[in-house]
Structure 1
């Protein structure tokens, strides 16, 4: 069967309509943290530093769980491309079991590991505030992982708008709850930083309930007979999904964990450095999470074309998305550098914190392109079920090169906060370049195989 080839405009259009709801949904996810940081920042540098420390731990664990859940999307997309609805149903059921177990396990890990923060040479007043907050937000991992099951399933079928609308709505609820619970408005108790934690937990439970209701009742998903029949769970499917999900989770751990380790290094420098890091990473996470929407689109589009065995279109789709993320992240790079003295004012009015944050935002602007290319590269390769080699790339780039170099720059060569972030810049640049080369090499190899088979035929 001859497949009609798409031109650049069609690739751009299909990717855009697939990606923009995911981008807004991801933006909604990260805006929970932004709203928390802005509203907690009004309480002072110590609560903001405590939020930074707690979130640096939580975000690593959360992203590992998110990575595990992402095994659902490429498998559903490939099965959809092949026209095999029974496999889609099987993937959903196994994903639901995996994600439920993962959410509970990660919650327990955080609860048991939280006291170790006292042994990381952080300011004691920061740890005292951070541990209770961390305990509250860690409970949100359980509903979040179940939400991810429904979301990744829907996105694998190119249904991306619903998760976006649900996420945006629940984040508005989160902001309202922040106002009530942090500051004690309308008769609610004034809970300070912990109020932000409870607001996050409540909003994520609501996200799960609404997303479940949508998938359970939508006509679009009736064909897959979604039901929780755990008697039909098989080890080979668990194994297949974990071979995709676990390396993806570790990819996120190696990258996000590098930034969290950077937060711990900032704590060694002082409270102001840690607060500055929280503001700068909070702003940089906006562009990163939106770029991850393009990454999700890359997973779906590449996985779909792989299922159809149309490698030429696979390459065109992949490189179109690399081009799109380059343009997108360039805008953020210009914004961070040109507005470096103004954006931190949204969070705090401490002069010392503002000065340090401005210097970090310049470095954040410099690594925007690398960050965008590496996250799209991971998504495109995930669509090709290539996760092991990219995981090795991230491990080496961040933990063998970026963090040791950042430590040397910060504590031995006198660059302090900026030294830590220069190390992260170098790690992101190396990762982005390697993943782009990897996608080109693998897709070319598949194309040559396809041509060889065609000639033999």
Structure 2
């Protein structure tokens, strides 16, 4: 095991958050580059990959079931100075990743055609979508292992390593896309199938390099012990991870429903919503990184029984997140004219974007609280309550009010954004109250697990 003092030095908010923040921005940049390159090749290809995006999200959610559960358990056992248990949960997490990747692979190998066929697309984009999904879905083992190994590195405080890996993997993916789409130096153009192969190759590269860094940092992990994992550890990971997956699935379904409402408002509204969401991802990138970092620290500090210190620190974190989100929204609003002009020439769409950025002052500050406090609650082992509140508020407030404010009461797209803001702040107030009351302090999984042994 890494020396305890070295581990403690790595476990601070600055060391953890900034690499995650940069990694988040890199992921966003790479996604934008991918879409831009594919758009230059073919609009049918963009439509196909856009459709398959929701299935890629499904795969990621499946693997995050394991990643979120194992991260909490590894961190809490490290904090409790139980390195053997931390290692056992690292190995159990990777075993589950392998199991999930086989299940996902079999599903998409046999069902990618029927799944894409449900959408009744034109023949060309349907063929593109089916081919892409077949390759990326069937060979998802690289995605699973890269997520699993990155989870272990972060749990041990090595948050810079996944950032570097993401940069290298993204560059490899971009080069592969360029070769597949444009065939330089006489290389045959392989189109969307080549893009899919480049994606799989970059994920496998990420997995191999991540494992190499685990060995380099001397993080305790042994492939030979994977199939000796006790069943109770697999169950413990799933018990923590499955609620997170349920929340993620609920959130995505709620967003799909809200986008359906927005589509009823016309093309300009749909375009404005899509562009504004792109800008908002930059606004909440820091709060997302802060939430991920706070979750890692929470699991570690709970294991050390430093709960009072954690409670004070997290209050500072979410206040900082609110301030930074407010300032970032202000920056976006001040640049609203050139930013909107970069994405669209339509005056009506530009006007809607400006209106939405006003509401974003309210929306993004609430979202910052949720990204930080909810993730921290999960890190302490308090996973069920935030999921329950999230599902009730997303649908009972976000979706319902989006319909009434946006469509029924004719406030349009601004009404939809107000509804989403009210959802975010309702959850934010509830989770702040729960954090202050300290209900999470008896949710640690370390003592529960060991009392069962």
Q: Confirm or deny that 1:142 pairs with 2:141.
A: yes
1:246-289 CA-partner distances (Å, limit 9, x unpaired): 11222222223322333444555566655554433333334444
Residue 307 of structure 1 corresponds to 303
Q: Mean Cα displacement is larger for which, 319-328 or 206-215?
A: 319-328
How far did residue 182 of structure 1 move? 3.8
Q: Report the more deviating stretch, 51-60 or 243-252.
A: 51-60
Q: Deviations over 1:153-186 (max 9, x none)?
A: 1111111111111112211222333334344544
Unaligned segments of structure 2, at least 5 residues: 1-7, 444-453
Residue in 2 that maps onto 1:220: 218
Uncovered stretches (5+) of structure 1, i.e. residues with no partner: 1-9, 448-457
2:172 is matched with which residue?
173
Q: Distance in 2 between matches of 1:195 and 1:400?
A: 43
Residue correspondence of structure 1 range 390-409 to structure 2 within 5 A: 390-409=386-405
| Residue 80 (structure 1) aligned with residue 104 (structure 2) | no
- For 1:454, the equivalent position in structure 2 comes to none
Aligned residue among 10, 16, 24 for 1:18: 16
Q: Which residue of 2 aligns with 1:230?
A: 226
2:5 aligned residue: none
Task: Summarize deviations over 1:17-36 as a string: whole Å, max 9, x none.
Answer: 12111222233233332222
**The 10-residue stretch of structure 1 (181-190 or 120-129) with the greater mean CA deviation from structure 2:** 120-129
In the TM superposition, what whole-angstrom CA distance separates every residue of 1:111-162 from its partner, at most 9, and x where no partner exists? 7477566667999997776555455544564312211211111111111111
- Aligned counterparts of 2:143 and 2:114: Cα–Cα separation in 1: 24
Structure 1 window deviating more from structure 2 (177-186 vs 313-322): it is 177-186
Match of 1:281 among 255, 269, 277: 277
Number of the residue aligned with 1:381: 377
Distance 1:122 1:251 in 2: 30
| Whole-Å separation in 2 of the counterparts to 1:425 and 1:50 | 31
Is this contact kept in 2: 1:336–1:364, CA < 8 A?
Answer: no
323, 328, 334: which is aligned to 1:332?
A: 328
CA distance in 2, matches of 1:48, 1:176: 18
Question: 1:27-66 counterparts in 2 under 5 A?
Answer: 27-41=25-39, 51-66=49-64
Report the Cα distance in structure 1 between the residues aligned to 2:440 and 2:69, rounded to whole angstroms: 24
Measure the CA separation in 1 of the matches of 2:314 and 2:403.
35
Contact kept? 1:73, 1:152, Cα under 8 Å: yes
Deviation at 1:410?
3.6
Partner of 1:261: 257
Report how far residue 400 of structure 1 moved: 2.4
Structure 1, residues 211-236: CA drift from partner, whole Å, max 9, x if none?
11221x31431xx2423423422221
1:6 aligns with none
Give the distance between the partners of 2:409 and 2:102, measured in 1 at CA.
Answer: 43
Aligned match of 1:298: 294
Residue matched to 2:451: none
Name the count of aligned residue pairs: 434
For residues 366-385 of structure 1, give each alpha carbon's deviation from its aligned partner in whole angstroms, at most 9, with x where no partner exists. 42111221111122111210
Q: 338, 342, 365: which one pairs with 1:342?
A: 338
Q: Is contact 1:340–1:362 with CA below 8 Å preserved after alignment?
A: no
Task: Report if the CA contact (8 A) 1:345-1:354 is conserved.
Answer: yes
Secondary structure at the aligned position of 1:414 is classed as coil
Distance 1:196 1:388 in 2: 39
Cα RMSD between the aligned structures?
Answer: 3.6
Q: Which of 421, 424, 429 is residue 428 of structure 1 equivalent to?
A: 424
- Cα gap change, 1:34/1:81 in structure 2, threshold over 3 Å: closer, same or farther? same
Structure 1 residues 144-153 or 260-269, which shifts more? 260-269
Assess, with a 3 A threshold, how the Cα gap between structure 1 residues 140 and 264 changes in structure 2: closer, same or farther: farther
Q: TM-score, normalised by structure 1?
A: 0.81
Provide the secondary structure at the position in 2 that maps to 1:309: coil
Q: Report if the CA contact (8 A) 1:55-1:134 is conserved.
A: no
Q: Which moved more, 1:380-389 or 1:97-106?
A: 97-106
